[in-house]
Amino acid sequence: MKLNRSTLVVAAVGIAASVITAASAFADATVDVDGVGFVGKGDVQSIYDWNNSSLQANASKVQFRFAREGETSWQCEGYNGANRYTLMKKTQNTTGLYSDITYSARKNTQGQITGFVLTGLNQATSATEQLEYCPPAKGWVVQPKLVEGSLLVEGDGEPTLQVSLGEGTWYNLVVTF
């Protein structure tokens, strides 16, 4: 067979496409910074070296979270002893900020789990204490409570999506943001 330039280009494109397909076979995780997205079953199976029946048996134990480092701030509001509205800002430097992500299992028509639909961030915690905590204030008429939507995390880079079975070991997933 005689090879010319166009044959080589077509062959190179075909090889590149198959390499990209192979590399992304277990990179089905897509998520936004609010914890909404999808994780394919292959991503979880490859971490735990599970076959399909192992995934089906263990899917209810799977947990997802974001891990990140940076500074976290939030606001608390209430009425002080003079019955005046008061707004407090809380700040914490975190070396391990974790936000649990709620999810539901996606199933096919045969009832087999085909992946996990991530439905958003749940509660944020750090390695040392729970975030979004508003401490009681002595003498306040209305005790401080979290200002909804005030949690702000500032740090370098995107958060890392992690998966666990609840045994304390968390594994990073390859994600497309």
Residue identified by tokens 């490859």 is: 46
What would the pLDDT profile of 85-95 be if each residue is shown by its tens digit?
A: 888 888 776 65
How many angstroms separate the CA atoms of 145 and 40, rounded? 38
User: What is the three-class DSSP state of 47?
Assistant: helix
- Name the residue with higher pLDDT: 17 or 166: 166
The answer to whether position 9 is within a domain reads: no
| Residue 8 pLDDT greater than 60, yes or no | no
The answer to whether position 126 is within a domain reads: yes
- Residue-number span of the structural domain to which 66 is assigned: 28-176
Across the chain, what does the average pLDDT equal? 77
- At 6, is the pLDDT very low, low, confident or very high (cuts 50, 70, 90)? very low
The answer to whether position 5 is within a domain reads: no
Burial of 175 (0-12, 13-18, 19+ CB in 10 A): buried
pLDDT of the residue at 3? 35
What would the pLDDT profile of 29-67 be if each residue is shown by its tens digit?
A: 899 878 899 999 999 999 999 999 999 999 999 999 888
- At 7, is the pLDDT very low, low, confident or very high (cuts 50, 70, 90)? very low
Residue identified by tokens 């391990």 is: 96
Average pLDDT value for residue range 111-128? 80
Q: What is the dihedral of CA 37, 38, 39, 41, to 10 degrees?
A: 170
Average pLDDT value for residue range 131-145? 85
The answer to whether position 138 is within a domain reads: yes
What would the pLDDT profile of 59-78 be if each residue is shown by its tens digit?
A: 999 999 888 777 778 889 99
The answer to whether position 16 is within a domain reads: no
| Residue 166 pLDDT greater than 60, yes or no | yes
Q: What are phi and psi of 60, to 5 degrees?
A: -70, -15
- Total number of domains in the chain: 1
How many angstroms separate the CA atoms of 134 and 60, rounded? 32
Q: CB of 132 within 8 A of CB of 151?
A: yes
Measured CA to CA in angstroms, residue 115 lies from 61, 103, 163 at distances of: 14, 10, 13
| Residue 17 pLDDT greater than 50, yes or no | no
- Name the residue with higher pLDDT: 160 or 11: 160
The answer to whether position 4 is within a domain reads: no
- At 19, is the pLDDT very low, low, confident or very high (cuts 50, 70, 90)? very low
The answer to whether position 1 is within a domain reads: no
